[in-house]
Structure 1
Amino acid sequence: MSKLTLNERVQILSLLCEGASMRSISRVTGKSINTVTKLLAEAGEACIDFHDEHVRGLNCKRVECDEIWAFVYAKEKNVDTAKNAPTFAGDCWTWTSICADSKLICNWFVGGRDADYAEMFMNDLADRLNNRVQLTTDGHKAYLNAIEGAFANEIDYAQLVKQYGAAPDSAKGRYSPAQCTGAKKKARIGNPDERFVSTSYAERQNLTMRMHMRRFTRLTNAFSKKYESHCHMVALYTVWYNFIRTHKTLKTTPAVAAGLADAPRGFDFIVALVEARAPKTGRPKKNT
């Protein structure tokens, strides 16, 4: 990274978190696509380590979880006929949890949508929480066993099960979503307060992810080509969202609201994380 100045690295990282594609960033900054890719990988690894170490001991009261769909290299139905498809090609789900009060992304996990991934995601979430919380998810069946295994009875858990009907005639089309006709609140573990059984913040967070990470945009060619790049971008985005981006309602960052930081950070903070992980250059000193 010695070929890039601090301002150049800050510009590239900022564009990555504002929904620009890697090719467009390369054109705007005049840097090669390999340079942009290398910086994303290094920043992603640094952000993974930082989040894993520092987003812990959380005193959340209410947490919401959801999964957001994307794909790597090719959609699942096209993987068999795709040329040179990598190991993790196909549908890709990003699991996220968000604190309803501080809006902090507590943890995230990228993988499939089955029970094994749900278990790993929930075990990780349980390790980050200090106290008993009220947890809400959608009606995905994999959550129930995963939450029972991770929290036992030390949680108040409910599912918000949405009911869907056909799209209205005026909106029918190839990509028209089904119409939500209602939702049922189902208490699963403990004694969840029905007033706070909601996934609204988690679903709004899904929209923010789609707006700020180009590879999540639907109906474009901006999908992730590599699983590793997908994870690196989610890691970078999460640290940006938690520690750098000022939440409009909170008037500060989620990390400050959650007591994890004293003040909002800047992208130079992520650059510093990258530099701290970089191998030291120069000749080793000889013992005398």
Structure 2
Amino acid sequence: MNKLPLKTRVQILNMLCEGSSMRSISRVCDVSINTVSKLLVDAGKFAATFHDEKVRGVTASRIQCDEIWSFTYAKAKNVRTAKSAPEEAGDTWTWTALDADSKLIVSYLVGGRDSEYAMAFMDDLRDRLANRVQLTTDGHRAYLEAVEGAFGADVDYAMLVKLYGKAPEGPQRRYSPAECIGARKDRIEGDPDIAHVSTSYVERQNLTMRMQMRRFTRLTNAFSKKFENHMHMVSLYTVWYNFIRIHKTLKMSPAMAAGISDTLWSMTDFAEAMDAVAPRPGPRGAYKRRYYT
């Protein structure tokens, strides 16, 4: 069976993580769009397993959580009139939990924004931490029950509730959010240090997500057509961000700063690790020969 050279696969994966669209990658790398899509699926599945195994026992002091919006196939308001819209079409939210010191993405979850996803997200975050932390979230009410159910009293938890003024008027109202005129810091559980109640780092990381993944770009036709591909891209991005990308401030990868990796990974290392666990491909036509004998 034919297989892309390692160099080409590494180039495709790097371009996916640098914000290139799948069709532009297929043109630059001279491969079919189906090849790019299949590699994304394979890499996303491996990346999800890689993150699940490697990001464990994280020692942190401050964790910041936030959600970032995108959509699959069509925006929620257009799903009803969209042609052949799949069941998962509509708004798609990515939950992220960031260590404020090492900038490590400790946990992430792709799906809806309701209490069920909030509880699953907080349960996963709790399982990856090695110690009691100070936790800060935005004012999303679903966090209240989720944090209580996951951590109980074993957390110093505060909410940063942003206060917004009047929405802009005129044509710019469609694209410009209301002005943030202040923020309120509410202690919810334990004894959080009010000076460190912030979501600035995780919000900045969310901007990096928008810049590095083409399907997150606003006001373009670059959106996910399949929910599964969206999840695979987020999983690939998370490993790239944690283990491969050098953080400009830290001068190392977040995984190294968090103490869960001794070395800086490269995309070549990642692709070789994929190959090491991938099943050996059989000869072409093997299925047909078995079927007809």
TM-score above 0.5, yes or no: yes
**Aligned equivalents of 1:230, 1:276: Cα separation in 2:** 25
Per the normalisation by structure 2, the TM-score is 0.94
Give, in angstroms, the shift of residue 235 of structure 1.
Answer: 0.3
Give, in angstroms, the shift of residue 261 of structure 1.
Answer: 0.8
**Aligned equivalents of 1:205, 1:69: Cα separation in 2:** 13
Higher mean Cα deviation, 158-167 or 271-280?
271-280
Aligned length: 283
Q: How does 1:52-201 map to 2 (within 5 A)?
A: 52-167=52-167, 172-201=172-201
**Aligned equivalents of 1:233, 1:282: Cα separation in 2:** 27
Q: How does 1:218-257 map to 2 (within 5 A)?
A: 218-257=218-257
8 Å contact from structure 1 (residues 65, 199) kept in 2: yes
Q: How does 1:192-211 map to 2 (within 5 A)?
A: 192-211=192-211
Give, in angstroms, the shift of residue 2 of structure 1.
Answer: 4.3
| Structure 2: gaps spanning 5 or more residues | 284-293
**Aligned equivalents of 1:224, 1:274: Cα separation in 2:** 24
**Aligned equivalents of 1:229, 1:169: Cα separation in 2:** 37
Amino acid at match of 2:78: N
SS in 2 for 1:162: strand
Question: Deviations for 1:212-259, whole angstroms, at most 9, x for unmatched residues?
Answer: 000000001110000100000000000000000000000000000011
8 Å contact from structure 2 (residues 109, 121) kept in 1: yes
Q: How does 1:6-85 map to 2 (within 5 A)?
A: 6-85=6-85
8 Å contact from structure 1 (residues 160, 184) kept in 2: yes
Per the normalisation by structure 1, the TM-score is 0.95
Amino acid at match of 1:154: D
Give, in angstroms, the shift of residue 30 of structure 1.
Answer: 1.0
Give, in angstroms, the shift of residue 174 of structure 1.
Answer: 2.3
**Aligned equivalents of 2:79, 2:255: Cα separation in 1:** 39
Aligned to 1:286: none
Aligned to 1:260: 260
**Aligned equivalents of 2:60, 2:276: Cα separation in 1:** 30
Amino acid at match of 2:132: R
| Structure 1: gaps spanning 5 or more residues | 284-288
8 Å contact from structure 1 (residues 159, 197) kept in 2: yes
Residues 273 and 83 (structure 1), Cα distance of their counterparts in 2 relative to 1, 3 Å cut: farther
**Aligned equivalents of 1:158, 1:253: Cα separation in 2:** 28
Residues 138 and 171 (structure 1), Cα distance of their counterparts in 2 relative to 1, 3 Å cut: farther
Aligned to 1:5: 5
Residues 279 and 220 (structure 1), Cα distance of their counterparts in 2 relative to 1, 3 Å cut: same
Same amino acid, percent of matched pairs: 64
Amino acid at match of 1:102: S
**Aligned equivalents of 1:264, 1:12: Cα separation in 2:** 20
Give, in angstroms, the shift of residue 120 of structure 1.
Answer: 0.2
8 Å contact from structure 1 (residues 43, 273) kept in 2: no
Amino acid at match of 1:163: L
**Aligned equivalents of 1:83, 1:170: Cα separation in 2:** 31
